């Protein structure tokens, strides 16, 4: 009798987004190895229903409860359990038998289900970097306690992870590459007048709106510095951001002897997603390969924190520690949305974040409840700064 291969059961939190849909492409391409067991979305219930029809997961969750009935009716002929609400996200990762949880939702909202997954002993494929920005220390403590691994999905962190594979020695320095975003060459005067439409045109990556704006302001790179500190245990002084507009070198690690190992490739998030799913194996893919004869111009520059102040604010948040990164994340979520909606100017985003850092209550050793309270307080302060 032919033995059936055991497939890895994957929960995708945020399956309708940029990372989520690419993760489903990876699962479809390796249907003999992976199965989508849980799919979730916030508002796009029609796309979630389509995905459920194609992948037949055990359960789907729509975070916004207003769409529950539409989703349930759309799936009434399928053996798919339908749930709604933010709490259901936590319950479904705890209660469903899954081998890995891909956290591909946006923002602070990713924190509770990530914690629920870790407490339930489920390995994490981490795309939702805000979780590590807000509560990296807490997450690391929980991962140690429940012996849960975190596989990085962010391309830079996947590159660092790949560069330290097989190494026994400490990291001397992380070289965290940044594309510089669409405004890399803009002067401060030009940055005064940039619009959301301009910011949404990222030169190298097709991503969700929030991270695309964060990339334009370089807050995304600041968050990645924080993410790298917690994922790899490296202090911020040893994390060097290097602007590399071609996004071919996805990041690098320098060791005690001066040797540097980097991971290179065509910018394609399916590569780190697939590796997080298949680690420690590498699977075949038909994604584009690098064309070495076409790469005559790989360039590297120093980031300019006068023009991209958000990057400096993120370093400051790391140095000050405690709940400051959580404050920065909350304020950033507010200004990011406000900029997209035309209520906040591009350069004003950093001003509001700096103001919020000054006025929110500092907590040196925050608990989970403190993070919830800090997030709410910082959002209020940032909102007031924008509206006054
Ligand atoms: P998208 O905006 O494209 O997708 C976000 C997903 O999360 C959607 O499925 C969305 O549902 C869902 N979602 C959003 N808010 C909530 C909420 N409050 N509760 C429950 N679900 C929610 O984002 P991306 O895929 O671009 O990014 C996802 C995460 O991955 C982010 O943390 C980002 O920083 C990180 N990341 C992304 C990269 C990329 O290339 N896109 C690269 C590296 C990291 P709905 O569709 O219904 O709105
Ligand atoms: Mg990245």
**Over the stretch 213-256, which tens digit does the pLDDT of each residue have?**
999 999 999 999 999 999 999 999 999 999 999 999 999 999 99
361-380 CB burial, b ≥16 within 10 A, e <16: eebeebeeebbbebbebbbe
Query: Which of 142, 93, 120 lies closest to 371, judged by CA?
Result: 142
Does residue 127's CB lie within 6 angstroms of at least one atom of ligand 1? yes
Does residue 211's CB lie within 6 angstroms of at least one atom of ligand 1? yes
Which domains, from first to last, does the chain contain? 8-152 (3.40.50.720), 156-304 (no CATH), 321-383 (1.10.1740.10)
Query: Which of 83, 342, 346, 26 lies closest to 194, judged by CA?
Result: 346
Alpha helices in the chain (DSSP H): 18-29, 45-55, 68-74, 86-95, 111-119, 129-146, 155-164, 188-192, 196-199, 209-217, 219-232, 270-278, 309-320, 324-340, 348-359, 368-387
Cα dihedral value 278, 224, 111, 145, nearest 10: 70
Neighbours of ion ligand 2 (CB under 5 A): 154-156
What's the pLDDT at 204?
A: 82
Distance 15 CA to ligand 1 centre (A): 8
Task: Give the Cβ contact number of residue 193 at 10 Å.
Answer: 11
Which atom of ligand 1 is closest in space to residue 89's alpha carbon? 20
CB 271 within 8 A of CB 285: yes
Going by their DSSP bridges, the two strands 100-103 and 81-84 should be labelled as unpaired
What's the pLDDT at 387?
A: 77
Distance 5 CA to ligand 2 centre (A): 33
From 48, 67, 102, 211, the mutation candidate for ligand 1 (largest count of ligand atoms within 8 A of CB) is 211
Which atom of ligand 1 is closest in space to residue 127's alpha carbon? 30
What's the pLDDT at 2?
A: 59
- Sign, CA dihedral 270-273-277-281, equals positive
Query: Which of 327, 280, 129, 124 lies closest to 214, judged by CA?
Result: 129
Does residue 208's CB lie within 6 angstroms of at least one atom of ligand 1? yes
Does residue 205's CB lie within 6 angstroms of at least one atom of ligand 1? yes
Residues present in the chain in total:
388
Distance 83 CA to ligand 1 centre (A): 19
What's the pLDDT at 33?
A: 98
Q: Which tokens is 142 given?
A: 């929980």
d(CA 180, CA 18): 20
For the chain, which ranges sit under pLDDT 70?
A: 1-5
Which atom of ligand 1 is closest in space to residue 154's alpha carbon? 43
What's the pLDDT at 203?
A: 80
Q: Does the reported pTM lie above 0.85?
A: yes
Task: Give the Cβ contact number of residue 21 at 10 Å.
Answer: 15
pLDDT tens for 5-43 read: 699 999 999 999 999 999 999 999 999 999 999 999 999
Distance 156 CA to ligand 2 centre (A): 5
d(CA 87, CA 368): 16
Does residue 63's CB lie within 6 angstroms of at least one atom of ligand 1? yes
d(CA 246, CA 119): 39
């Amino acid at each position: 009798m032919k033995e059936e291969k055991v497939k890895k059961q994957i929960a995708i939190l945020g399956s309708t987004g940029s990372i989520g849909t690419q993760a489903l492409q990876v699962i479809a391409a390796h249907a003999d190895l992976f199965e989508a067991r849980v799919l979730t979305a916030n508002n796009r219930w029609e796309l979630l229903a389509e995905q459920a029809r194609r992948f037949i997961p055990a359960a789907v969750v729509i975070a916004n409860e207003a769409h529950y009935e539409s989703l349930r009716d759309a799936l009434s002929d399928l053996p798919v359990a339908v749930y709604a609400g933010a709490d259901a996200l936590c319950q479904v990762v705890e209660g469903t038998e899954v081998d890995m949880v891909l956290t591909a939702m946006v923002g602070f909202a990713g924190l509770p289900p990530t914690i629920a997954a870790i407490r339930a002993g489920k390995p994490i494929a981490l795309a939702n970097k805000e979780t590590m920005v807000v509560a990296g220390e807490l997450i690391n403590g929980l991962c140690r306690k429940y012996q849960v691994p975190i596989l990085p999905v962010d391309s830079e962190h996947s590159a660092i992870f790949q560069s330290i594979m097989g190494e026994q020695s400490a990291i001397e320095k992380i070289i965290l590459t940044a594309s510089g975003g669409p405004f890399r060459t803009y002067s401060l005067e030009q940055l005064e007048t940039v619009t959301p439409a301009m910011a949404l045109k990222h030169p190298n990556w097709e991503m969700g709106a929030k991270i695309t704006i964060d990339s334009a302001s370089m807050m995304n790179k600041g968050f990645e510095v924080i993410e790298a500190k917690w994922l790899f245990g490296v202090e911020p002084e040893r994390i060097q951001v290097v602007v590399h507009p071609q996004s071919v070198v996805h990041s690098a690690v320098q060791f005690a002897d001066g040797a540097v190992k980097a991971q290179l490739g065509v910018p394609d998030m399916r590569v780190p997603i697939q590796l997080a799913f298949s680690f420690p194996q590498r699977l075949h893919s038909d994604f584009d390969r690098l064309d070495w004869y076409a790469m005559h111009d790989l360039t590297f520059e120093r980031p300019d924190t006068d023009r991209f102040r958000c990057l400096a604010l993120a370093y400051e948040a790391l140095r000050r520690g405690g709940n400051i990164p959580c404050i920065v994340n909350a304020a950033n979520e507010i200004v990011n949305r406000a900029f997209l909606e035309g209520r906040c100017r591009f350069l004003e985003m950093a001003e509001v974040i700096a103001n919020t850092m000054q006025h929110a209550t500092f907590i040196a050793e925050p608990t989970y409840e403190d993070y919830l309270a800090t997030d709410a307080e910082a959002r209020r302060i940032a909102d007031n700064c924008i509206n006054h």
